[in-house]
Amino acid sequence: MSRRKSSAGKRNCSRLPVGSAGLARLVKRHVAHRATAAGFAAGDSDRYSARVKQQGWETISSERHFANAHLEVVTDHVQAPTRGQPRTWTIVHRKAAVVIVPMTRDGKIVLIRQERIPIHEVIWEMPSGQIDPPSPRLRRTGNRGAVRTEIEQVALRELREEAGYELGKEGELIALGYYFSSPGFTDERGYFFLARPVVACRNYVRDESEAILDCRAFSISQIRRMIAENDIRDANTLSGLTRLWARGLLPGELRQ
C-alpha cells in the first residue's frame, strides 16, 4: 500500500456521497490507534514505560528504536493473557490503510501495476493508501461519524489518484472489514472497501511522482488466471478478493 499523499492538486473528479454502515465498527478501533496526528516521529524519549492493558494484554514497557512519519520500530515487554511470564517482541507500528476494490458496471475489477522498491518488482494490485490518524479534536470528542467520513474520503481519494476512477451514478462504497498484513512483526491493518460501479475520471492525468505504470480492468476469469499463474501476488489484493468471494459480492463466475 502506498504512503499517504497530500490532498493538494486533486484530480478533476467529483466527490459523490457514499454509504457504508458496516464501517461504524471499524471506526472505534481506528480512533484508538496509537499513532499521533503528527506521525510516529513525535516524542523525544527513546525509552519509555507504559503499562497499557487491552483485553487482557498488558504492555509493561516499550523501547523505541526508530520512528518517522510512516512507521515506528519498538521492542515491547508484553504480558499475554494466556502466559504466565511476559514476552519481549520487536514490533513495527504502521498507520492503518485503506484497500479499495474498484468494480465496473460489467463486473470487472480495476487493478494498478506499481513499482515496489522493497521487493524490486512491478506488481498488479488494488489501489491503497495510508490513513492519517484522527486529529486531536476528533480523538477528544470521539466523533465516530466524522472519522468514518474521513476514512471514506481517503478511500475515494486513493481510487482517484492511483487508478483514475471514481464512483459512478448511484455508486456505493461498501466497508468489508479489515485484515492484518503481517501480524508476526507489525500491527498494520488494511480496511477493505468495495467501490461499485466505478467509471474512469474525465481529463485524468496521473501524478508523475506516482510509481504506477499501468491501470486496467480485468474480468473475473482473467483475475482467476492471474492468481493461478502467480501474476497477482500482492497480499492486499489476494485478501480483498477472498473477502469479496466470502461475502458473495463477486460475479457468479468465481463464486461457484
pLDDT at position 242:
95
**Predicted confidence (pLDDT) at residue 37 exceeds the cutoff of 60:** no
Structural domains for the chain: 21-32+95-250 (3.90.79.10), 47-94 (no CATH)
Lowest mean pLDDT among 34-38, 62-66, 156-160, 193-197: 34-38
| 108, pLDDT greater than 60 | yes
Cell of 51: 503499562
pLDDT of residue 209: 75
pLDDT band at 231; cut points 50, 70, 90: very high
Q: What is the mean pLDDT of residues 151-178?
A: 94
What average pLDDT is seen over the chain? 82
pLDDT above 50 for 16: no
In the predicted structure, residue 122 carries a pLDDT above the cut 60: yes
Compute the average pLDDT of residues 140-169: 86
More confident residue, 21 or 212: 212
Name the more confident of 39 and 126: 126
What pLDDT does 27 receive? 57
Q: What is the pLDDT of residue 29?
A: 55
The string of pLDDT tens digits covering residues 175-223 is 999 999 999 999 999 999 999 999 999 988 887 777 999 999 999 999 9
Mean pLDDT confidence for 250-256: 63
Task: State residue 192's pLDDT score.
Answer: 96
Residue 57 half-sphere exposure toward CB, CA atoms < 13 A: 7
pLDDT at 49 over 60: no
pTM of the model: 0.78
